[in-house]
Amino acid sequence: MKKKIISFCILILVILAGATYALLNYNYSNGYRSGKLVKLSRKGAVIKTWEGTLDLGSGDQLTWNFSIHDNELGEALVKKTGQQVKLEYRELLYKVFYSTKFDVTSWSLLRVAGSENFCRLVNVIKHSRIAVDKVKALVKEYDASLLEEIRDCQ
């Protein structure tokens, strides 16, 4: 009789744990948002997440707050702060350990208007080794962050 009671209690605990996990990870909805990545920071005492803000630029709600549960995704996205990005997210039913119910699952960099001409120029320059070396030296000297944008064009 004691074994039956213990087995029943273990079964109840397993069912409750499974139901709790399912409720905390169930996708209520999913979608995309795009805008300027304004803020991204690492937060949490026990369970650490990336918490961020996206500037949507127009409409009733000008900013959108989100969480990133994947550390690699957060580390990659933090390097794009201040740039236009497109975020794919899932909305969870409950936010127990996180600041928001929106969990970002992937992202892509958006091209700013006029960047097509910049990339066309980069593609023309790359045909001459002399031009590449000269431009690379000038960019390193005056604006090293531009090298990343040049690499994005290729």
Query: Mean per-residue pLDDT for 43-71?
Result: 84
User: What is the value of pTM for the model shown?
Assistant: 0.62
Containing structural domain, residue 79: 27-109
Taking all residues of the chain, what is their mean pLDDT, rounded to a whole number? 83
- Chain Cα centroid distance, residue 10: 39
Residues 105 and 120 in one domain: no
Which residues have a Cβ under 8 Å from the Cβ of 67 and sit 6 or more positions away? Answer: 49, 50, 51, 52, 95, 98, 99, 100, 102, 103, 104
Looking at residue 67, which CATH number applies to its domain?
Answer: 2.40.50.140
- Name the DSSP letter for residue 113: T
Residues 119 and 148 in one domain: yes
Which residues have a Cβ under 8 Å from the Cβ of 82 and sit 6 or more positions away? Answer: 36, 37, 38
Residues 43 and 98 in one domain: yes
Residue 145 is assigned to a structural domain of this protein: yes
Residues 87 and 142 in one domain: no
pLDDT greater than 60 at residue 113: no
25 backbone dihedrals φ, ψ, rounded to 5°: -115, 5
Q: How confident is the model at residue 60 (pLDDT cuts 50, 70, 90)?
A: low
Q: How much is the pLDDT for 115?
A: 63
Element (H, E) at 66: strand 63-68
pLDDT, one tens digit per residue, over 16-25 is 888 777 766 6
